A = this chain, B = another copy of it.
Amino acid sequence: MDPNSCSNIEAETKEMDARSLSASHQHSQYLHKVGIPPKQNLLREFIARVKETLFADDPLRPFKDQPRSRKLVLGIEAIFPIFEWGRSYNWRKFRGDLIAGLTIASLCIPQDIGYARLANLAPQYGLYSSFVPPLIYAFMGSSRDIAIGPVAVVSLLLGSMLSNEIDPNQNEAEYLRLAFTATFFAGITQVTLGFLRLGFLIDFLSHAAIIGFMAGAAITIALQQLKGLLGIQKFTKKTDIISVMRSVWGSVHHGWNWQTILIGVSFLSFLLLTKYIGKKNKKFFWVPAIAPLISVILSTFFVYITHAEKKGVQIVKNIEKGINPSSVNQIYFTGDYLLKGLKIGVVAGMIALTEAVAIGRTFASMKDYQLDGNKEMVALGAMNVVGSLASCYVATGSFSRSAVNFMSGCETAVSNIIMSCVVFLTLEFLTPLFKYTPNAILAAIIISAVVGLIDVKAAILVWKIDKFDFVACLGAFLGVVFASVEIGLLIAVIISFAKILLQVTRPRTAILGKVPRTNVYRNILQYPEATKVPGVLIVRVDSAIYFSNSNYVKERILRWLMDEEEKVKAACQPTIHFLIVEMSPVTDIDTSGIHALEELHRSLEKKNIQLILANPGPMVMDKLEASKFANLIGDDKIFLTVADAVSSCSPKRVENV
């Protein structure tokens, strides 16, 4: 033991004089007993609990006390919010939506073609997924700002997981069928989560882990684009940075194509420059939004007139003309691939939800409207189920396009309808124009799009606020970059869960002292001026006491006591006769917790120390009574405040011993 700390404590304890003790004694006259809440009906209690868990947002509130016809209208409006906001739609709003819709359409068309390649699909499937799903979402979704379509991370994840099952080059048709199957089940997963009000499950992926995962995915996606950007023919199928860099360097001498590099790098510079301009001056937000389309037009025209495709510049070649064909018969409803599709669908569906809900919440909080997460999930799920029947792959809300949508002044989901119409026209009439579009341009567009997913500022903030969160962030990032998207995701989920488990198994405890000249007892580590009461040890337990931590809490309290007794002995101070457990933060207790308290009480009795409880909450009080523990230690040993409890510790006994 450190002798210095001993004398400090001695000095502190001496400062804590009898006056303050008697003062607190005067103040409280034990007027108020700790309240025992009225016994609740079991069923009512159960229903209240279920309601709080699954219907925390009280979705049926507007239906209360309404006539039946009105309920029907409200019900339809709840499923199809368009009928609600549609009634107050006007020309002013349409103007905003039209401009926003045209802007995001110009951004989405080149992105879609590129993202489809990430998922190892032919380019038209990206466009298909920007046609049907946004239409469905416009009718069912409640976010006003989200822009629907394929997104980079989900495309990469889907491409990676699908090609683990089927080689897309050898079995193109089967690969496509599995993609639709996964999309179908992604939608089913989303609808189910929303309908069963289990939306909170996606909250289990922590914010920090998502930041790391997204940044890792962005780098992985950018690395994949080196193939297109450098014109490499033979490229690894793995996504980790080491395999990719080996593949890139290995093909320096005979694989790179200087014409492709020239086109790719110059347009990438142009795109990044426009991004920079848009960032510097918010007025020019539309510059980076239309830059991709301009790049496509310019580069396509350039290739067409120079016939660069004959000099090794790879081009898109052919995008099938016409709108989405039906894919109802393509989905695997039986066989081996059913289960595989289900597994991939569940994962992709959850990730897609995470992204869409995060975007929805961000913009909803900016414009200050409420978003029902569960209803959103039903809308997103329905759109993917329908999409999977119409040759679409998983669509969700895109970060970059939603931001552009927001800044272009969108008012409602009509901007999605406008975008959808533009995509329809493109599919019907314009696809042949993309024939000479060089792949390098698509790669450049994707790189410039995913750069925005790397949020260094947010990562720095995470580091500043919470070091353990940063570990989750870094773990997910490194997992994605050095192993694969799935491994990174797994790491993110495991670290997130480990944090929750750590939180519940090892709750914090604190020794409290009296803040001078008040009646308030606080953590002596936070308030060094707070003084301990001689002969009394006050411990606060900072968590509900459940089976997962009851043993730890008991042992930790006994260890605090042992430490304190040693200190007291070394300093020749009055021995400890009272242990006050401040229960304010103990929101609940279960059978194991009661058991631990009983064991604590028994251990203390042997040491001739009195256990006193301060301010147990309603649930805890209820259970202390039910288990007769309140009788065991004595009802008069439970107080409303720590101050009351301290003043009950017979001053004579405390001072004289």
Contacts and interface: CB of A to CB of B under 8 A. Distances in A.
Interface of A: 28, 31-32, 35-37, 42, 45-46, 49, 52-53, 56-58, 200, 203-208, 361, 365, 368, 373, 461-462, 464-469, 496, 499-508, 510, 515, 517-520, 522-523, 525-529, 542-544, 546-552, 555-556, 559, 584-585, 587-588, 590-592, 594-595, 599, 602-603, 606, 615, 617-619, 621, 623, 626-627, 640-641
Given A546-B499, A590-B206, A590-B208, A627 B42 contact: no
Given A617-B523, A618-B523, A53 B500 contact: no
B584 A585 contact: yes
B53 A506 contact: yes
Contact of A587 (B204, B507, B546, B548): B507
13 contacts: A28-B518, A32-B520, A37-B526, A56-B552, A204-B547, A365-B603, A465-B626, A468-B590, A469-B591, A500-B500, A503-B544, A507-B587, A520-B640
B591 A35 contact: no
B45 A465 contact: no
B606 A368 contact: yes
Contact of A640 (B206, B522, B621): B522
A460 B365 CA distance: 48
Closest 8 CB pairs between A and B? A206-B547, A585-B585, A207-B592, A542-B587, A526-B618, A35-B526, A35-B527, A464-B626
A208 B544 CA distance: 16
Contact of A52 (B56, B207, B506): B506
Contacts of A206: 546-548, 590-592
Nearest to A206: B547
A533 B49 CA distance: 28
Contacts of A550: 203, 207
A542 B615 CA distance: 13
A556 B42 contact: no
Contact of A542 (B464, B501, B585): B585
Contacts of A556: 56
Contacts of A526: 35-37, 617-618, 621
A279 to B, nearest CB: 22
A496 B591 CA distance: 13
A549 B465 CA distance: 17
A42 B508 contact: no
Given A365-B599, A466-B591, A526-B37, A640 B207 contact: no
A203 B553 CA distance: 12
B207 A595 contact: yes
Contacts of A468: 49, 590
Given A31-B518, A57-B559, A203-B551, A627 B368 contact: no
A524 to B, nearest CB: 10
A467 B42 contact: yes
B32 A623 contact: no
B46 A467 contact: yes
Given A464-B626, A526-B617, A32 B515 contact: yes
- Counting chain B CB atoms within 10 Å of each CB, the highest count among A36, A544, A547, A595 belongs to A547
A205 B591 CA distance: 13
A587 B544 CA distance: 11
A496 B505 CA distance: 13
Contacts of A519: 519
A207 to B, nearest CB: 4
Given A35-B522, A368-B602, A465-B591, 16 more contacts: A28-B518, A32-B515, A35-B526, A36-B526, A37-B525, A200-B506, A200-B551, A203-B550, A205-B547, A206-B592, A361-B551, A365-B599, A465-B590, A469-B591, A500-B504, A507-B587
Given A58-B559, A207-B591, A365-B602, A504 B507 contact: no
Nearest to A364: B599
Contacts of A368: 602-603, 606
